[in-house]
């Protein structure tokens, strides 16, 4: 039975590419209303975990659930890696963000003026209002990242899954993004983000999941973000000291 205090529950999850396991029998519970970092070495299965949660890739076995909130199925928002975006797709920044409304409207109904106004408000919130009419292909990597965060905000989601939201952005953009994520937490939302920078974990996140095909540690940052757990997580990289 699902725990209503959890935002995400993963049980016995195994995912493989070409018969090679990437995630192996993962059991995981992530709490509601917190900022969670998913961390591990390259190839550890971090992005695979996010995509599996979204149902974007098949599972060999296992279950993934998002417990209901007040009896209702939660809305899930997604921010992909910026390099996974087709930069040649001819669409404006405002249109990209307005697409976030389709999760609530369905694909048949057209966004209303209120929806587009809300999309503009989310662009303003992410500092991208002046780029609303520009083609997404004309933006820098950091600007694209802020645009896709705005799109996720336009979904008015309960749980946000983000794949490296700080990758390729400058320090000012990173500060603005983490400020937005903390606003979401204050509003009772859940954010689960793939993250690489070990030095910012304690400042940015409440909870951390350390994985390397399997879950090495999962819990509050102050309890599980330890040298021992980091060594266990990154030991397969070769030189753990370099990774740390």
Q: What are phi and psi of 45, to 5 degrees?
A: 105, 15
- Which whole number is the average pLDDT over 44-48? 95
The pTM of this model reads 0.87
Contact 116, 98 (CB under 8 A): yes
Distance CA 220, CA 206 (A): 6
β-bridge pairing 6-17 and 61-65: antiparallel
Q: What are phi and psi of 29, to 5 degrees?
A: -130, 130
User: Is the pLDDT at 8 greater than 70, yes or no?
Assistant: yes
pLDDT of residue 37: 98
**121 CB-contact burial (10 Å; exposed 0-12 / middle 13-18 / buried 19+):** middle
Structure confidence at residue 100 as a pLDDT band (50, 70, 90): confident
3-state secondary structure of 211: strand
Distance CA 66, CA 155 (A): 16
pLDDT of residue 102: 57
- Which whole number is the average pLDDT over 26-34? 97
Which has the higher per-residue pLDDT, 86 or 141? 141
pLDDT of residue 66: 96
Task: State the chain's mean pLDDT as an integer.
Answer: 87
Among 71-80, 101-110, 121-130, the range scoring the smallest mean pLDDT is 101-110
Structure confidence at residue 241 as a pLDDT band (50, 70, 90): very low
Among 31-40, 81-90, 150-159, the range scoring the smallest mean pLDDT is 81-90
Q: Which residues pair with residue 28 across a beta bridge? A: 10
Residues in the chain: 244
- Which whole number is the average pLDDT over 40-54? 95
3-state secondary structure of 131: helix
Q: Encode pLDDT of 74-89 as tens digits.
A: 999 999 886 556 666 6
- Which whole number is the average pLDDT over 212-220? 97
The 8-class DSSP code of residue 32 comes to T
């Amino acid at each position: 039975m699902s725990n209503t205090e959890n935002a995400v529950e993963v049980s016995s999850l195994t995912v493989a590419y070409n018969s090679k396991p990437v995630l192996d029998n993962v059991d995981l519970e992530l709490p509601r209303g917190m900022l969670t970092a998913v961390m591990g070495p390259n190839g550890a299965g971090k992005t695979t975990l996010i995509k599996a949660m979204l149902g974007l890739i098949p599972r060999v076995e296992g279950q993934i659930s998002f417990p209901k909130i007040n009896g209702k199925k939660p809305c899930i928002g997604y921010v992909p890696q910026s390099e996974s975006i087709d930069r040649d797709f001819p669409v404006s920044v405002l249109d990209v963000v307005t697409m976030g409304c389709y999760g609530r409207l369905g694909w048949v109904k057209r966004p209303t003026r209120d929806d587009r106004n809300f999309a503009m408000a989310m662009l303003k919130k992410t500092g991208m209002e002046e780029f609303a009419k520009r083609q997404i292909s004309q933006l820098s990597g950091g600007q694209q990242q802020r645009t896709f965060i705005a799109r996720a905000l336009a979904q008015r989601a309960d749980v946000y899954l983000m794949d490296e939201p700080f990758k390729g952005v400058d320090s000012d953009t990173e500060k603005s993004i983490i400020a937005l994520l903390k606003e979401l937490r204050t509003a009772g939302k859940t954010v689960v983000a793939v993250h690489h920078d070990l030095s910012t974990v304690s400042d940015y996140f409440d909870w951390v999941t350390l994985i390397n095909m399997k879950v090495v540690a999962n819990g509050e940052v102050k309890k599980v973000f330890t040298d021992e757990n980091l060594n266990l997580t990154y030991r397969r990289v070769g030189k753990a000291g370099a990774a740390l």
